[in-house]
Chain A
Amino acid sequence: MKNLFREVLWPLVAVVAAFVVGGIIILILGDNPLTAYGWLLSSSFGSVKDIGWTLHYATPLIFTGLAVAVAFRCGLLNIGAEGQLYVAAFATAWVGMKFGGVATKVVGEGTAIADLPAIVLIPLCILTAVVVGGIWGAIPGILRAKFGSHEVINTIMLNFIGIALVSYFTQYYYKVPGDPIMQTANIGEAAYIPQLNQFLTFIPKDVPLNMSFILAILMCVVIYVFLWKTKWGYELRAVGQNASAAEYGGINPKKQIILAMTLSGALAGMVAIGEVMGTRHNYYDGFSAEWGFLGIAVALLGRNHPVGVFIAAIFFGVLLRGEIFVDAFTAKVSKDLGWVLQAIIILFVACFQKFTKK
């Protein structure tokens, strides 16, 4: 119990401190911090519609937060979730088009490979998101395990490479001719996943919350069970706590590093399910609002625990939803307040970790 208290206390202190600093900045800019924060809360929790939007914004962050947390538990820092989710999103859109009966006539033939029914196409697309994200995560894992090169630098580099690569494919092969926007054609309708308001009628029609939110909750449970109730998860955490002791105890750290990074990439790749199959129905260049990087903040604030990640993701969802209204209804403060608050929270959480370690 005392342990839980300490786990929760410092992240809370960091959040409160960040809001105090943010409030001072708002004052200096010439607005009333209480008014700004009031809008932040009322626009994200004020009605069923607002809550729906907040959860919609939180969904990709649950996936990326879990992704970073799993790697963290193995002692690795995955800064590459952004690249992983981009590559996965493009691949998912590609499968959704090519196997969903969509002819992409940009260069040469561009005919569809198949026109599969939803019952086959949806699992195929989900599998693509998971596998491709996993592969993009596995690369820095293998590089770390085989060559000892640092995953932080490699994941940063792979972000740039991945984003440039899918931008190339989009621009040269899968863009709708004449479309000024860098985006692919729409995926086949059979690949669309249901919106939650189709089942839950109390959710208003204009809230884009889809099935991926349910999947995100499910993944929190799965990751919890994996990390704390399975042998593999135990070994993964053992490597994270003390790699040489784990090796002495008969665990192969290299195997665990590759496993953790693959799993991390796969979780980041799941962002594609909600965004490509649920919200946009295509691949759009620049679709992620730095979710991969925000995942680091989510994992950190959530103390790398699935329950913490879930709560932290919703908290960041509040910022993403609320900043739009703060921008519109205050004289001076713009949408960028969200970035500043996020940055200060990360900095404080990182600093206060010194106190939780003891």
Chain B
Amino acid sequence: MGEILTIALLFSAIRLATPLIFAALGGLFSERSGVINIALEGLMLAGAFTAAVTTYQFQNPYLGFVFGILAGGLLAYIYAIACIKFEANQVVAGMAINFLMIGLPALISGAVYDSSGSTPQIDKVDQLPNYFNNISLASIIAFLLIPVCWYVMYKTPFGLRIRAAGENPQAADAAGINVLKLRYTAVIISGILAGAGGAYLSIGQSSLFTRNMTAGRGFIALAALILAKWRPVPVLVACLFFGFTEAIAIQVQGASWAKIGGEDIPVQFIQMIPYVLTIIVLAGFIGLSRAPKALGIPYRKEN
């Protein structure tokens, strides 16, 4: 068992947690303001695709990262219009965004690069830079964002207003807060952050965009957000934990130590851990996880 907890595994966990931290923090802003964000997966894909294409075209990963973020923010704005202006069912609209991002990147890259499965490979030198132990610049940004988000959420008027909009929009409105505008801002921030997580996947962790490359990470980020009870610092813990399970799942395949009583530990069971935990926590078996009160309810000003 000693072999499991190596330094290499720790760094692997940090790398794998990075996109989850970005996306979960994004979800934090959106959901704290009262808008469910099932669309994290699609927003990440938008960031991943745009970052890969931009980096390939201009050989500049920083430009790629910025464009990835912008794409996430733009798509989130469309999502926000559906959810806030048209009061669409937020879960359904979120699924639509996810569907769109399975198809649209493939459609575009099929037409432009004649390959709907993936975008062209980016040169190693054009990827986001890595530092000690292959820790990406993006990972460092993600970790720094945790205290920043905590500060914004709990120590600034903007954070207070977001929380008010998600808990009691009527009271927030009565106090002179523009609830709708605030929710727009929060959802766009969530797109920017999720887009950053996606960009890391395509130009940091790997060097191209492949179809549906997030592979459910948007939903794992959502699970982490729920486990963290919608709070920034626990989000870090939850994402690191899920990063660890993924790192172990990768190592288990073919590893000699991964046996219980002579039988393999099936990788599928390790992959299930985040999902099973979420169900248990939601059912209230490990403390109560309470969502923001107005989560998922469109706000309509009463006249």
- Give the interface of A toward B (CB within 8 A): 25, 29-30, 77, 79, 143, 146-147, 149-150, 152-154, 156-158, 160-161, 164-165, 167-168, 171-172, 293, 296-297, 300, 332-340, 342-344, 346-347, 350-354
> Across the interface, which residues of A come within 8 angstroms of B36, CB to CB?
152
> Across the interface, which residues of A come within 8 angstroms of B276, CB to CB?
157, 161
> Across the interface, which residues of B come within 8 angstroms of A160, CB to CB?
216, 219, 271-272, 275
> Across the interface, which residues of A come within 8 angstroms of B271, CB to CB?
160, 164
Of B89, B103, B266, B278, the residue contacting A336 (CB under 8 A) is: B103
For the complex, give the distance between the alpha carbons of A164 and B82 in Å.
33
For the complex, give the distance between the alpha carbons of A110 and B100 in Å.
43
> Across the interface, which residues of B come within 8 angstroms of A343, CB to CB?
96-97, 99-100, 102-104
A-B pairs with beta carbons under 8 Å apart, 5 shown = A156-B219, A160-B216, A161-B275, A168-B266, A339-B102
Take A154-B282, A296-B92, A332-B111 as given contacts and tell me if A351 and B100 are in contact as well, using a CB distance cutoff of 8 Å: no
- Across the interface, do B99 and A147 meet the contact criterion of CB distance under 8 Å? no
For the complex, give the distance between the alpha carbons of A346 and B92 in Å.
7
For the complex, give the distance between the alpha carbons of A147 and B88 in Å.
27
For the complex, give the distance between the alpha carbons of A297 and B291 in Å.
26
- Across the interface, do B272 and A164 meet the contact criterion of CB distance under 8 Å? yes
> Across the interface, which residues of B come within 8 angstroms of A339, CB to CB?
99-100, 102-104, 106-107
- Give the interface of B toward A (CB within 8 A): 36, 38, 82, 86-89, 91-93, 95-97, 99-100, 102-104, 106-108, 110-111, 116, 216, 219, 222-223, 226, 266, 268-269, 271-272, 275-276, 278-279, 282-284, 291
A161-B272, A339-B106 known; 19 new pairs, CB 8 Å cut-off, are A25-B104, A149-B284, A156-B38, A156-B219, A156-B222, A157-B275, A158-B275, A165-B272, A333-B110, A333-B111, A334-B106, A336-B103, A343-B103, A346-B99, A347-B96, A347-B97, A347-B100, A351-B82, A354-B86
> Across the interface, which residues of B come within 8 angstroms of A344, CB to CB?
96, 100
- Across the interface, do A30 and B111 meet the contact criterion of CB distance under 8 Å? yes
Taking the nearest CB of chain B, how far is it from the CB of A208, in angstroms?
A: 25
Chain A, residue nearest B92 (CB)? A350
Chain A, residue nearest B285 (CB)? A147
- Across the interface, do A337 and B107 meet the contact criterion of CB distance under 8 Å? yes
Taking the nearest CB of chain B, how far is it from the CB of A97, in angstroms?
A: 20
For the complex, give the distance between the alpha carbons of A224 and B104 in Å.
36
Taking the nearest CB of chain B, how far is it from the CB of A161, in angstroms?
A: 5
Instruction: Summarize B's interface: helix, strand, loop or mixed.
Output: helix
> Across the interface, which residues of B come within 8 angstroms of A172, CB to CB?
266
- Across the interface, do A168 and B99 meet the contact criterion of CB distance under 8 Å? no
- Across the interface, do A153 and B226 meet the contact criterion of CB distance under 8 Å? yes
- Across the interface, do B96 and A150 meet the contact criterion of CB distance under 8 Å? no
Of B95, B108, B116, the residue contacting A296 (CB under 8 A) is: B95
- Across the interface, do A149 and B111 meet the contact criterion of CB distance under 8 Å? no
> Across the interface, which residues of A come within 8 angstroms of B91, CB to CB?
77, 79, 152
- Across the interface, do A147 and B95 meet the contact criterion of CB distance under 8 Å? no
Of B97, B99, B110, B116, the residue contacting A342 (CB under 8 A) is: B99
> Across the interface, which residues of B come within 8 angstroms of A338, CB to CB?
103
For the complex, give the distance between the alpha carbons of A149 and B281 in Å.
9
For the complex, give the distance between the alpha carbons of A147 and B219 in Å.
22
Taking the nearest CB of chain B, how far is it from the CB of A177, in angstroms?
A: 16
- Across the interface, do A165 and B282 meet the contact criterion of CB distance under 8 Å? no
Chain A, residue nearest B276 (CB)? A161
- Across the interface, do B282 and A340 meet the contact criterion of CB distance under 8 Å? no
Taking the nearest CB of chain B, how far is it from the CB of A72, in angstroms?
A: 10
Instruction: From A153, A158, A172, name the one whose CB has the most chain B CB atoms within 10 angstroms.
Output: A153
Taking the nearest CB of chain A, how far is it from the CB of B218, in angstroms?
A: 10
Taking the nearest CB of chain B, how far is it from the CB of A172, in angstroms?
A: 6
Instruction: From B93, B96, B100, name the one whose CB has the most chain A CB atoms within 10 angstroms.
Output: B96
> Across the interface, which residues of A come within 8 angstroms of B283, CB to CB?
143, 146-147, 149
